[in-house]
Copies of this chain bind each other. A is one copy, B any other.
Amino acid sequence: MADVPSMDALVALLRRLPGIGPRSAQRISYELLVRKRDLMPQLAAAFQQAHAVVRFCERCNNLSEAPLCAVCRSEHRDRSILCVVESPADLRAIEDTGVFVGEFFVLMGHLSPLDGIGPEALHIDRLSARLGETDLQEVIFATNPTLEGEATAQFLAGLVPDGVTISRIARGVPVGGELEYVDRSTLGRALHGRRLLDE
Protein backbone atom coordinates (compact mmCIF):
# COMPACT_ATOMS: atom_id res chain seq x y z
CA MET A 1 0.00 0.00 0.00
CA ALA A 2 1.31 3.43 -0.91
CA ASP A 3 0.85 4.45 2.68
CA VAL A 4 2.13 1.50 4.71
CA PRO A 5 5.79 0.83 3.86
CA SER A 6 6.28 -1.53 6.83
CA MET A 7 3.58 -3.76 5.44
CA ASP A 8 5.07 -3.62 1.95
CA ALA A 9 8.44 -4.64 3.36
CA LEU A 10 6.86 -7.59 5.17
CA VAL A 11 5.00 -8.71 2.04
CA ALA A 12 8.20 -8.53 -0.02
CA LEU A 13 10.10 -10.73 2.47
CA LEU A 14 7.29 -13.28 2.83
CA ARG A 15 7.25 -13.72 -0.95
CA ARG A 16 10.79 -15.05 -0.77
CA LEU A 17 9.62 -18.07 1.23
CA PRO A 18 8.90 -21.31 -0.65
CA GLY A 19 5.28 -21.81 -1.67
CA ILE A 20 4.23 -18.23 -0.84
CA GLY A 21 3.14 -16.12 -3.82
CA PRO A 22 2.19 -12.43 -3.88
CA ARG A 23 -1.47 -13.06 -2.98
CA SER A 24 -0.56 -15.33 -0.15
CA ALA A 25 2.07 -12.91 1.23
CA GLN A 26 -0.50 -10.13 1.23
CA ARG A 27 -3.15 -12.29 2.85
CA ILE A 28 -0.76 -13.35 5.62
CA SER A 29 0.26 -9.74 6.26
CA TYR A 30 -3.32 -8.52 6.52
CA GLU A 31 -4.23 -11.40 8.81
CA LEU A 32 -1.33 -10.56 11.11
CA LEU A 33 -1.85 -6.79 11.09
CA VAL A 34 -5.60 -6.91 11.52
CA ARG A 35 -6.46 -10.02 13.51
CA LYS A 36 -3.30 -11.64 14.87
CA ARG A 37 -1.07 -8.79 15.95
CA ASP A 38 0.22 -10.74 18.95
CA LEU A 39 1.75 -13.29 16.61
CA MET A 40 4.16 -10.73 15.13
CA PRO A 41 6.48 -10.30 18.13
CA GLN A 42 6.30 -14.06 18.69
CA LEU A 43 7.34 -14.70 15.09
CA ALA A 44 10.12 -12.12 15.35
CA ALA A 45 11.47 -13.84 18.47
CA ALA A 46 11.19 -17.30 16.91
CA PHE A 47 13.13 -16.25 13.80
CA GLN A 48 15.83 -14.61 15.91
CA GLN A 49 16.10 -17.60 18.23
CA ALA A 50 16.24 -20.17 15.42
CA HIS A 51 18.83 -18.08 13.59
CA ALA A 52 20.95 -17.79 16.72
CA VAL A 53 20.93 -21.36 18.00
CA VAL A 54 20.25 -23.77 15.13
CA ARG A 55 23.46 -24.93 13.47
CA PHE A 56 24.77 -27.90 11.56
CA CYS A 57 26.02 -31.08 13.23
CA GLU A 58 29.81 -31.20 13.06
CA ARG A 59 29.74 -34.86 12.17
CA CYS A 60 26.80 -35.28 9.75
CA ASN A 61 25.51 -31.75 8.86
CA ASN A 62 22.06 -32.46 10.33
CA LEU A 63 20.32 -29.50 11.99
CA SER A 64 21.15 -29.32 15.69
CA GLU A 65 21.38 -26.94 18.62
CA ALA A 66 24.46 -28.76 19.96
CA PRO A 67 27.82 -29.46 18.27
CA LEU A 68 26.60 -33.00 17.55
CA CYS A 69 23.01 -33.78 16.53
CA ALA A 70 20.72 -36.21 18.38
CA VAL A 71 21.53 -39.05 15.98
CA CYS A 72 25.28 -38.61 16.28
CA ARG A 73 25.08 -38.24 20.09
CA SER A 74 23.00 -41.38 20.50
CA GLU A 75 24.64 -44.53 21.86
CA HIS A 76 22.01 -46.70 20.21
CA ARG A 77 22.85 -46.17 16.55
CA ASP A 78 24.62 -48.73 14.38
CA ARG A 79 27.82 -47.03 13.24
CA SER A 80 28.50 -49.74 10.68
CA ILE A 81 25.73 -48.44 8.37
CA LEU A 82 25.89 -44.95 6.92
CA CYS A 83 22.99 -43.40 5.03
CA VAL A 84 23.93 -40.51 2.71
CA VAL A 85 21.15 -38.00 2.03
CA GLU A 86 20.90 -34.64 0.28
CA SER A 87 19.30 -32.53 3.03
CA PRO A 88 18.33 -32.41 6.72
CA ALA A 89 14.69 -32.67 5.57
CA ASP A 90 15.49 -35.97 3.84
CA LEU A 91 17.25 -37.20 6.98
CA ARG A 92 14.17 -36.42 8.99
CA ALA A 93 11.89 -38.18 6.49
CA ILE A 94 14.00 -41.34 6.90
CA GLU A 95 14.10 -40.99 10.69
CA ASP A 96 10.32 -40.71 10.70
CA THR A 97 9.99 -44.13 9.03
CA GLY A 98 11.44 -45.64 12.22
CA VAL A 99 13.16 -48.45 10.27
CA PHE A 100 16.70 -47.09 10.06
CA VAL A 101 19.15 -47.61 12.94
CA GLY A 102 22.40 -46.48 11.32
CA GLU A 103 23.98 -43.05 11.04
CA PHE A 104 23.70 -40.33 8.41
CA PHE A 105 25.74 -37.98 6.33
CA VAL A 106 23.97 -34.95 4.84
CA LEU A 107 25.51 -33.70 1.59
CA MET A 108 23.63 -30.38 1.63
CA GLY A 109 22.77 -30.71 -2.03
CA HIS A 110 23.63 -32.80 -5.05
CA LEU A 111 26.11 -32.55 -7.88
CA SER A 112 24.85 -30.11 -10.50
CA PRO A 113 27.59 -29.08 -12.91
CA LEU A 114 25.25 -26.71 -14.76
CA ASP A 115 24.67 -24.79 -11.50
CA GLY A 116 28.34 -24.87 -10.62
CA ILE A 117 27.80 -27.34 -7.77
CA GLY A 118 30.81 -29.62 -7.79
CA PRO A 119 32.05 -32.22 -5.30
CA GLU A 120 33.70 -29.59 -3.08
CA ALA A 121 30.28 -28.12 -2.22
CA LEU A 122 29.11 -31.48 -0.86
CA HIS A 123 31.51 -31.68 2.11
CA ILE A 124 33.45 -34.43 0.34
CA ASP A 125 36.44 -34.14 2.70
CA ARG A 126 34.35 -34.89 5.75
CA LEU A 127 32.42 -37.61 3.96
CA SER A 128 35.71 -39.26 3.00
CA ALA A 129 36.88 -39.14 6.61
CA ARG A 130 33.60 -40.68 7.73
CA LEU A 131 33.87 -43.40 5.05
CA GLY A 132 37.33 -44.22 6.40
CA GLU A 133 36.11 -45.12 9.91
CA THR A 134 37.09 -48.71 10.60
CA ASP A 135 33.75 -50.15 11.68
CA LEU A 136 31.87 -49.08 8.52
CA GLN A 137 30.32 -52.00 6.66
CA GLU A 138 27.65 -50.49 4.40
CA VAL A 139 26.87 -47.18 2.76
CA ILE A 140 23.30 -46.56 1.62
CA PHE A 141 22.91 -43.76 -0.90
CA ALA A 142 19.51 -42.20 -0.29
CA THR A 143 19.91 -39.21 -2.58
CA ASN A 144 16.78 -38.13 -4.42
CA PRO A 145 15.55 -40.39 -7.27
CA THR A 146 16.31 -37.62 -9.78
CA LEU A 147 18.98 -37.44 -12.47
CA GLU A 148 21.19 -35.31 -10.22
CA GLY A 149 20.60 -37.55 -7.21
CA GLU A 150 21.53 -40.67 -9.20
CA ALA A 151 24.64 -39.03 -10.65
CA THR A 152 25.66 -37.88 -7.18
CA ALA A 153 25.32 -41.42 -5.79
CA GLN A 154 27.33 -42.84 -8.67
CA PHE A 155 30.09 -40.31 -8.17
CA LEU A 156 30.28 -40.72 -4.40
CA ALA A 157 30.31 -44.50 -4.69
CA GLY A 158 33.83 -44.09 -6.04
CA LEU A 159 34.93 -42.74 -2.64
CA VAL A 160 33.78 -45.80 -0.69
CA PRO A 161 36.68 -48.02 0.45
CA ASP A 162 36.98 -51.59 -0.86
CA GLY A 163 35.16 -54.13 1.27
CA VAL A 164 32.36 -51.75 2.24
CA THR A 165 28.98 -52.69 0.76
CA ILE A 166 27.39 -49.94 -1.36
CA SER A 167 23.62 -49.84 -1.77
CA ARG A 168 21.07 -47.50 -3.24
CA ILE A 169 17.66 -46.90 -1.71
CA ALA A 170 15.10 -49.01 -3.63
CA ARG A 171 13.07 -47.29 -6.31
CA GLY A 172 9.85 -47.61 -4.43
CA VAL A 173 9.82 -43.85 -4.50
CA PRO A 174 8.38 -42.17 -7.59
CA VAL A 175 11.10 -41.32 -10.09
CA GLY A 176 11.60 -37.58 -10.38
CA GLY A 177 10.05 -36.97 -6.97
CA GLU A 178 11.51 -35.40 -3.85
CA LEU A 179 12.32 -37.72 -0.96
CA GLU A 180 11.09 -35.18 1.55
CA TYR A 181 7.50 -35.53 0.34
CA VAL A 182 7.24 -39.31 0.10
CA ASP A 183 4.91 -40.97 2.61
CA ARG A 184 6.48 -42.91 5.47
CA SER A 185 5.50 -46.44 4.48
CA THR A 186 6.73 -46.05 0.90
CA LEU A 187 10.00 -44.66 2.19
CA GLY A 188 10.26 -47.43 4.80
CA ARG A 189 9.72 -50.14 2.17
CA ALA A 190 12.20 -48.48 -0.14
CA LEU A 191 14.82 -48.65 2.61
CA HIS A 192 14.15 -52.33 3.29
CA GLY A 193 14.24 -53.09 -0.45
CA ARG A 194 17.58 -51.39 -1.06
CA ARG A 195 19.81 -53.13 -3.60
CA LEU A 196 23.57 -53.29 -4.21
CA LEU A 197 24.69 -50.43 -6.39
CA ASP A 198 26.19 -52.65 -9.13
CA GLU A 199 23.28 -55.08 -9.46
Which A residues are closer than 8 A to B by beta carbons?
1-7, 9-10, 13-14, 16-20, 23-24, 26-34, 36-37, 39-51, 53-54, 63-66, 69-70, 87-89, 92, 108, 180-181
Chain B CB count within 10 A is highest, among A4, A37, A66, for A4
Knowing A50-B10, A50-B33, say if A44 contacts B44 (CB, 8 Å): yes
6 closest cross-chain pairs (CB), A and B:
A3-B70, A40-B51, A44-B47, A44-B44, A6-B50, A40-B47
A40 to B53, CA, bound (A): 12
Q: Are B27 and A89 neighbours in the complex by a CB distance under 8 Å? A: yes
Copies assembled: 2
What's the Cα separation between A49 and B44 when bound, in Å? 10
Bound Cα distance A64, B197 (Å): 61
Contacts of A49 in B (CB 8 A): 6, 9-10
Q: How far, in angstroms, from A7 to B62 measured CA to CA in the complex? A: 13
User: 29 interchain pairs (CB within 8 A)?
Assistant: A1-B70, A1-B92, A3-B70, A4-B65, A6-B50, A6-B65, A9-B49, A10-B49, A13-B39, A13-B42, A14-B43, A17-B28, A17-B31, A17-B32, A18-B28, A19-B24, A20-B28, A26-B89, A27-B180, A29-B50, A30-B87, A32-B50, A33-B88, A40-B48, A40-B50, A40-B51, A41-B47, A44-B47, A44-B48
